Each structure stands twice: as C-alpha cells, then as structure tokens.
Amino acid sequence: MDDVLIPAWVGGELTAVDKLEVHQRGLRHKAISVFLMRGSTVLMQRRSLAKYHTPGLWTNTCCTHPHWGEDALTCAQRRLGDELGLPVLQLEKRDRVEYRADVGGGLIEHELVDIFVGELPPEIEPTPNPDEVADLAWMDLDGLTQRVATSPQIFTPWLKIYLEHHAAKIFGADAKV
C-alpha cells in the first residue's frame, strides 16, 4: 500500500494523516464512492485480493479517499481512471453520508462520504486495474438487493449501509432497492 495522506479529523481539526493510521485509529475521514449506471443496472466491482482490507468483496463501482488538498469530484474522476481505466465522466453528487464500520483486521472505516452517480455510455468499456479490481459485473438493482440479502458476507460493509439507508438518495426515490 502506498503512503497517502488523507483528510481526517484529529482533535476536532481536519489534518493530513496516513491512510493506514486513519483506519487503525478509526478516525473520521473524507471519502468518495461512485456508482456508474447503464439504465437500471449498476457497475459493481469485486475488490482485488491484494487489498489491505475487505479483499475479494463486492462493492460499488469505485471508492477511495481524497488526497490531502484534493476535492471530492476530482478524486472520484481520478479513481475511475486508476481502478477502471475510464476517461473523465460527468458525475452528479447525490449525497454526503457518514458511517462507521468494522472492516476486519482491527481496521475501522469512519467516513464522511461524497457519493457520485454517473451514466457509463455503452461505447465505453472499463479496463480494470488488476491491483485494484478482481472482477466486474453489471447488476440490476433488484438482483443486487436480493444478493446482498442472501449472501451479505460477499459484500463490503459500506455497500450494505448504502443500500439499507441511502438507496433512495443514490438511485432515486423510484428505484426498487
């Protein structure tokens, strides 16, 4: 894992802290999550087995932490390129949510997350970075909800939180999640 300083709150002050230290201490920190859609299907990824937490679990299109001084939208677009080889896409910020989740190995995600949604045109196909992504799948929202309900252990904690508590804001009030 590379040494990256991310924005985290320490003693009430936003400061630059090493990413691993943030998770070891369970510090509240900034993050982004992206959901790319094609109609009513969402692009899901299975995290690389080389990830230092939640390896091999299915999650949303991509997520990460802004670098110190990086704005959320720039971070989201950068990460789509880093993980999926995608060009800069138009993204809409849908929500900002906060959650705290044990991600295993003594690590805690306590995130203030900006959530973005975009449409991936059919003529653009992702080319996943194998260091980041083990697999990709397009899932319809109904099927995704059913899979999370029947096999929760194969999904990241944050995806389950998003679907349970924030689906209407992410996918729209009419989404069947």
SS3 80: helix
- Give the pLDDT score at 175: 60
The pLDDT of residue 4 is: 87
Please measure the distance between the N-terminal and C-terminal CA atoms of the chain and give it in whole angstroms: 34
Whether the model clears a pTM of 0.75, i.e. scores above it, the answer is yes
pLDDT at residue 54, rounded to an integer: 96
- The pLDDT score that the predictor gives to residue 176 is 56
Domain ranges, residue 97: 5-171
Cβ pair 28, 11 in contact under 8 A: no
Asked whether residue 100 is domain-assigned, the answer is yes
Query: Number of structural domains, the chain?
Result: 1
* CATH classification at residue 35: 3.90.79.10
Evaluate whether residue 61 is within a structural domain: yes
Per the residue annotation, which of 62, 63, 75, 109 is the catalytic one? Answer: 63
pLDDT for res 177 = 55
| Inside any domain, residue 177 | no
- Catalytic site residue from 62, 83, 109, 111: 111
For residue 79, being part of any structural domain is answered with yes
Q: Could you tell me if residue 102 is inside a domain?
A: yes
- pLDDT per position as a tens digit, 36-85: 999 999 999 999 999 999 999 999 999 999 999 999 999 999 999 999 99
In a domain, 141, yes or no: yes
Structure tokens that stand for 95 in this block:
């929500």
The answer to whether residue 83 is catalytic is: no
pLDDT at 105 over 70: yes
* 62 catalytically annotated: no
148-167 confidence digits (pLDDT tens): 999 999 999 999 999 999 99
Mean pLDDT score, 95-107: 95
Decide if 139 is inside a domain. yes
Between CA 32 and CA 150 the distance in angstroms is: 27
54 in any annotated domain: yes
Distance CA 42, CA 137 (A): 8
- As a whole-number percent, the residues of the chain with pLDDT over 70 amount to 96
pLDDT value of position 172: 86
**pLDDT value for 2:** 58
